[in-house]
Amino acid sequence: MSGRRGHGEGAIYQRADGRWVGAVDLGWDDGKRRRRVLYGRTRAEVRERIRDLQAQIDGGVVPAPDRLTVAIYLEQWLDRLSGTIGERSEDTYRRAVRLYLVPTIGSIRLAKLSPADVTKMLQTLQARGLAPETRRLARAVLRRALRRAQQDGILVRNVAALADGPRIPKRDGRTLTPEQAKQFLAAVRGERLEAAYVVTLALGLRRGEVLGLSWEDLDLESDEPTLRVRRQLIRGRDGLELTSVKTLGSNRTLHVPEPVVAVLRAHWAAQATERVKAGPRWANEAHLVFTGPLGAPLDVDAFGKSVPRLMKKAGLGHWHIHELRHSCASLLLAMGVPLEVVSETLGHSSIRVTKDVYGHLLAPARAKAARAMQQALWSEDEEPAEPLATKLATQEPAGEAENALTRSNVRPLGLEPRTCGLRVRCSAKLS
């Protein structure tokens, strides 16, 4: 006998096999009434589960259906995500779901997924020999998907966020020394795309940003030549595509050193000759700076793979194209350029990104800070240094001082053609 149900218990009854069953009404969805059936060994167990579920519903959470697995939910999530993010990002998410998430946790019911399941998934991927960065990607994609489930009110917590992520070993990237940079510049001299390699090294552009430059982005005739980064060339699903740069920080204007200006002018003249030779076959509707012999956009992968060949030609061994960008940053920091300016030059989303990647190169600056503090507090000079507050209060305004240095007249560093060292271009002469 099941007996009478208590107040608020809903429909609880005992089946012929002895198990107790209860149900909670979840309302209507797409014209269909939804109910959640709960099971237990005793009436009290079922009653407690009903009360817990009702509390979730009252709190705005409509639990996921019992039969909704992680695999099914992830597929639905990807379909909803399609068109709201870039193609490359969507392809990355789909690949992570297909290769890493579905094979490991896809059969688990979404409502039953736990932090322990996520941890086990990461351990399984590690046992397969996948790199920490790949495991971090899998967890990040799952975390984003479950965050949407939270927003939709079908999950109370994001178990991917609760599980510990893989530790990523910190690796200090390789960078060219000034001497090695000079060797590379000598090796690319006379190459058809010499200007592209020089821009990559001297300004730290990403390969897609270099190949996405148009002549309208360059101002080489002014007293202060500039280059604007606003688009990038990428490989999409349908081939090469010219798109806007991903972040606001990536959209930037850089001052161009005179040696780079000279190389770009020579490249413009060479491209004009190619255009005349190609005649009606010339196809450069976007007015790209760097193209194929007939004006077609360059393949980003092929451009990247050309750098190792040139590095070997220079006698430097194997280097990849992104290490030119790292080298630009390291050379700037070595010359004392502030971290904030380096961050803006590279187009990082925040100065924190720059610090995380290149913080190990700031040791000389920290040593200089220690010496400055020693001079300020423990100098043996008889006359104390003028207090900073007094100095700031009595100094001439920057606009009136003969040798004032301001953010507007101190320019980013460039590569001198003779030394391949770094120089400061500003309105004042520094002794």
The CA distance from 209 to 325, in Å, is: 12
* pLDDT score for 424: 35
What pLDDT shows up at residue 383? 56
Tallying the residues shown for the chain, one arrives at 431
Backbone phi, psi, residue 255, to 5°: -80, 140
Architecture of domain 178-334: Orthogonal Bundle (1.10)
- Of residues 45 and 379, more confidence is placed in 45
Out of 240-249, 376-385, 398-407, least confident range: 398-407
pLDDT for position 96: 96
Q: Which pLDDT belongs to residue 426? A: 39
pLDDT over 60 (residue 391): no
Does 417 have pLDDT greater than 50?
A: no
Architecture of the 70-162 domain: Orthogonal Bundle (1.10)
Give the mean model confidence (pLDDT) for residues 148-167: 88
Q: Which residue has the tokens 């589960």?
A: 49
- pLDDT in the model for residue 63: 63
Structure tokens of 58? 């009252």
Asked if residue 206 has pLDDT above 90, the reply is yes
Find the mean pLDDT for residues 284-296: 95
Lowest mean pLDDT among 12-16, 51-55, 293-297: 51-55
Write down the domain spans for the chain.
11-58, 70-162, 178-334
Q: Whose CA is closest to 110, among 60, 151, 145, 161?
A: 145
Count Cα neighbours of 375 within 13 Å in the Cβ-side half-sphere. 9
> pLDDT tens-digit profile of 90-118?
999 999 999 999 999 999 999 889 999 99
Q: What mean pLDDT comes out for the span 318-326?
A: 92
Residue 40, classified by CB atoms within 10 Å of its CB into exposed (0-12), middle (13-18) or buried (19+), is middle
Q: Residue 430's pLDDT is what?
A: 32
Count of Cβ atoms closer than 10 Å to residue 186 Cβ: 12
Q: Which residues touch 224 (CB under 8 Å, ≥6 apart)? A: 255, 411
pLDDT tens for each residue of 32-71: 776 777 778 888 888 887 887 777 677 666 666 667 899 9
The C-alpha atoms of residue 193 and residue 188 are separated, in whole angstroms, by 8
The 10 Å Cβ neighbour count of residue 304 is 16
Q: Is 423 exposed, middle or buried (0-12, 13-18, 19+ CB in 10 A)?
A: middle
What does the DSSP assignment read for 198-223? HHHHHH---HHHHHT-BGGGEE-SSS
43-71: string of b/e by CB count within 10 Å (b at 16+)?
beebbebbeebeebbeeebbbbbeebbbb
Under the banding of pLDDT at 50, 70 and 90, the label for residue 188 is: very high
Name the burial class of residue 99, with classes exposed (0-12), middle (13-18) and buried (19+) by CB atoms within 10 angstroms of its CB.
middle
User: In whole angstroms, what is the distance from residue 320 CA to residue 289 CA?
Assistant: 22
Which tokens belong to 158? 């994001």
Q: Which two tokens stand for residue 301?
A: 């992968």
Q: Which residues of 134-172 are buried (b: 16+ CB within 10 A; e: fewer)?
A: bbebbbebbbebbebbeeeebbeebbbbebebbeeeeee
Give the up-direction half-sphere exposure of residue 317: CA atoms within 13 A in the CB hemisphere.
5
Assign residue 42 a region: left if phi > 0, alpha if psi is -120 to 50, beta otherwise? beta
DSSP state of 281: G
Q: How many contiguous H segments (helices) and E segments (strands) does the chain have?
A: 17, 10
Mean residue pLDDT across the chain: 82
Q: Which of 4, 63, 13 is nearest to 35 (CA)?
A: 63
